[in-house]
Chain A
Amino acid sequence: MTIKGKAYIAGIYEHPTRHAPDKSTAQLHAEVAKGAIEDAGLTKADIDGYFCAGDAPGGLWPMVDYLGLKVRHVDSTETGGCSYLIHLGHAAEAIAAGKCSIALVTLAGKPRTGPMPARAAGAEADFEAAYGATTHNAYGMCAMRHMHDYGTTSEQLAWIKVAASHHAQYNPHAMLKEVVTVEDVLNSPMISDPLHRMDCCVVTDGGGAMIVTTPEIAKSLKKPLVRLIGHGEAMKGPRGGKDLDLTYSAGVWSGPRAFEEAGITPKDIKYASIYDSFTITVLMQLEDLGFCKKGEGGKFVADGNLISGVGKLPFNTDGGGLCSNHPVNRGGMTKILEAVRQLRGEAHPKVQVPNCDLAIAHGTGGLLGVRHAASTCILERV
């Protein structure tokens, strides 16, 4: 059994806010749900499946009640920032199995307004909590080892931020719209070696949502047709400390699964949404997904290769998490949304990829240098 072509993304919505001290988190979920339902041309009563992750206040039953949904299928898979990529795959499975026909997936929260609640501790807590792993230093450790093993440089990492900034200048909602140079990135303060401030994504309030549905229903609606043709998910951790290697992510497993299901290769991809919590996240994932060989990510991203209209692999044309939006410190949803815009031909004209018919949306969740999940979605315009 495959989910190839069995589920379509019929509605998308990204909240325009980047700072929402005047709204509740549940309210933001409702606003993005409303936006996605209206984008699809549906009504709330049509929704019969609901998907949310750890950012949804109280989880499934409080959210289903708050939103006033009546659903027959739910899924609260929680894998940090890539939860929504996994939700898309799981929604396709549920739709293919007849468990629901119109699924709503929401993400929203306010980390810019105030600190997020702490995650529940795992079995490792006593053996790790004291050492102060944060997103910055966990990804810093990956970058440090990648540089050691492959000669990757801060200049090469900086090109990823430069490319994102070139795209963000055209996004009126982007938090950072200024085009920056490699020198700007290198001159920004060191946060956690070897990552500079501009190697890090923005912190924003906001959210996003999507509607996933059957081929028949999608074809009855008015939006350009975008469908999921391949999906993969995987997890990676230090696994008892054996053969530790922080230079690759779980994308080495989720990526090939998705490409195999889709029946395509990385060379076929016209546009890539790649989770950019940090510049190193993008570089490692591009290698892991097979856009270049392991260790050659630095050369691949340099000299504007990720800039739409300039390089070979246009990426994160909304400005991504590095410049535009990183709602709830979780980048998976916005990765899907920009990929759908590209496939619909609705991206900004300055960054729209011509004849964009195949796109990838990929991300990780958790801490790349500690424990994380990865999920890959291959999307096609029909």
Chain B
Amino acid sequence: MAEAKKYPTPVTNPETAPFWEAAKAGKFLIKHCTACGERHYFPRSICPFCFSDKTEWEEASGEATVYTYSLMRKSPTGPYAIAYVTLKEGPSLQTNIVDCDLEKIKIGQKVKLVWKPTDGAPLPFFTAA
């Protein structure tokens, strides 16, 4: 096995600190606006849709489907799959598909959340479900 890829440590800030604290406990949080009902990711304190400050943290299931992907073959650390996945709860987000056969990724495929360690809070990735 090759040595595990080193990922950057999240810098975090007061607005996003609860996300990273939850991540350390294995919980994947998104934001839910109680004013307009929309969910969004990455998390903001003010809703990007209705601009209300009535946003609250909500734990997401970690279940998602692949919206699109691209297998980057020219990389000093080896091929990797960047992707957008759409969470069961609604929002789509940028990620990497990891720990599965990258040649077999398909749009619409079901994937699930996995955490990868950094020197600080872990980072969310997705793998074949």
A242 x B38 contact (CB < 8 A) = yes
A132 with B72, Cβ < 8 A, contacts A126-B10, A126-B16, A241-B41 known: yes
Q: Is A136 an interface residue (CB 8 A)?
A: yes
B40 x A127 contact (CB < 8 A) = no
A141 x B86 contact (CB < 8 A) = no
| A240: contacting residue among B44, B68, B72, B73, CB under 8 A | B44
Q: Is A164 an interface residue (CB 8 A)?
A: no
A143 to chain B, nearest CB (A): 8
A148 x B82 contact (CB < 8 A) = no
B71 x A193 contact (CB < 8 A) = yes
A140 with B72, Cβ < 8 A, contacts A127-B93, A240-B41, A242-B49 known: yes
Q: Is A244 an interface residue (CB 8 A)?
A: yes
Contact with B along A139-174 (1 / 0, CB 8 A): 011111100100000000000000000000000000
B92 x A238 contact (CB < 8 A) = yes
Which A237-273 residues have a C-beta within 8 angstroms of B?
Answer: 238-242, 244, 246
Q: How many residues of A sit at the interface, in one of the four size bands?
A: 35 or more
| B84: contacting residue among A125, A141, A189, A192, CB under 8 A | A141
| B72: contacting residue among A124, A130, A192, A244, CB under 8 A | A192
| B40: contacting residue among A148, A240, A246, CB under 8 A | A240
A79 to chain B, nearest CB (A): 20
Q: Is B61 an interface residue (CB 8 A)?
A: no
A123, B87: Cα distance in complex, Å: 21
Residue in A closest to B96 when the chains form the complex, CB atoms: A131
Cβ contacts under 8 Å, A310 to chain B: none
Of A123, A137, A194, A195, the most chain B CB neighbours within 10 A belong to A137
Q: Is A355 an interface residue (CB 8 A)?
A: no
Q: How many residues of B sit at the interface, in one of the four size bands?
A: 35 or more
B83 to chain A, nearest CB (A): 7
A370 with B94, Cβ < 8 A, contacts A192-B74, A193-B71, A242-B38 known: yes
Q: Is B26 an interface residue (CB 8 A)?
A: no
A63, B42: Cα distance in complex, Å: 37
Cβ contacts under 8 Å, B40 to chain A: 240-242
B69 x A244 contact (CB < 8 A) = no
Cβ contacts under 8 Å, B8 to chain A: 129-130
Q: Is B127 an interface residue (CB 8 A)?
A: no
Residue in B closest to A149 when the chains form the complex, CB atoms: B107
Cβ contacts under 8 Å, A191 to chain B: 72-74
Contact with A along B47-66 (1 / 0, CB 8 A): 01100000000000000000
A126, B44: Cα distance in complex, Å: 13
Which B87-129 residues have a C-beta within 8 angstroms of A?
Answer: 87, 90-96, 107, 118, 123
A132 x B75 contact (CB < 8 A) = yes
B68 x A148 contact (CB < 8 A) = yes
Q: Is B34 an interface residue (CB 8 A)?
A: no
A242, B44: Cα distance in complex, Å: 14
| A242: contacting residue among B68, B84, B91, CB under 8 A | B91
| B90: contacting residue among A126, A132, A142, A241, CB under 8 A | A241
Closest 6 CB pairs of A and B: A140-B70, A240-B40, A241-B91, A127-B42, A244-B92, A145-B68
14 A-B interface contacts by CB (under 8 A):
A129-B8, A130-B96, A130-B123, A132-B75, A132-B80, A133-B94, A137-B72, A141-B68, A193-B69, A194-B70, A240-B41, A240-B44, A241-B86, A370-B94
